Structure 1
């Protein structure tokens, strides 16, 4: 049995900009990018025609938004501005360490996170109480190109852990996104129905039911 955990809102809380467009604009200006007067409108418009379920990396969106207003800029300014705009203060949620430790007692463990900002998951984990080797794999939507509940991100997570998708248990806080594991035959443990403290006994019960040690 493999277990994957959502990150934001499940294992950690991380502050995010109240107004992402303004936060990105501030960081763009620091990098001498001429921010359009109608930046809020440009930021809100779709600029990348992505397939359903695909992730659009936020730097790509910002780059296209600037290009739509004929703004020239240094090649990597959009990426650096986005990374700086989303620089969180992180708190590990009560019960998170114990839930992950219980999962490790049952088999391999992964992070499976929706995140359109490069580097954010890594920086979040560094600022949390977790160690990098607490997880056997880290799968992000910005890294793999698919957002939960797309089946592809769960299939990749299972593959990274070396388990079949029906043997993957996913723990998360968003029924619409994290519940997508059920579309590939896996099991969802949703924090709207239980707390992190409930996860260890639920994992033990699932392992006993499936015949895993």
Structure 2
């Protein structure tokens, strides 16, 4: 068993009095300390960026820190923005260099690229972040889709693979009306509120995309103030990785 996954398992299962982390079957950390009433807001960046200024304004107003995961392409295109996010004290982590789909959608255990290409893709992402004085510890895979091998490759690069927590529809905020799986922001918010009511969200990794296709006019990130206020009223604190 690799070192990072073993460490997480030790923390999650043998030190349960201190923390209870949830690891999925592929080996990624998908929920942090369920004993604490904390939520981890997670934002990714690759193609689009139109909502970042708004998101950062809300986070500043609410006086909370969040976690951002950027591809190398995003960093190269928006270096000033990434530097600003770093300077504001938010966590910045890796999200691959070229946002490649590493493994097959229907046959998850099948890699679509060689291990060397995947490793090089992640390494380039790490190098760009290092150049901005960011020591990446956490890695959210592109498309939030991965398998055990991808987690192993990330571990070899001293990265802990993480993903969003399942149960809500927030990860579908990128969908557009022409897609069969399109879901409105109203429906996404309802899914979050209902999940919290039924299950609680201690340690939840809540993913939101601050930039989405122009075809989607209904932007979930524009509801961020409302969402944070609702969860704060439920007694949650917001943490970064």
User: For this structure pair, what is the TM-score category when the shorter chain's length is used for normalisation?
Assistant: 0.3 to 0.5
Bigger fraction of residues in helix: 1
Q: Could you tell me the TM-score, scaled by structure 1's length? A: 0.37
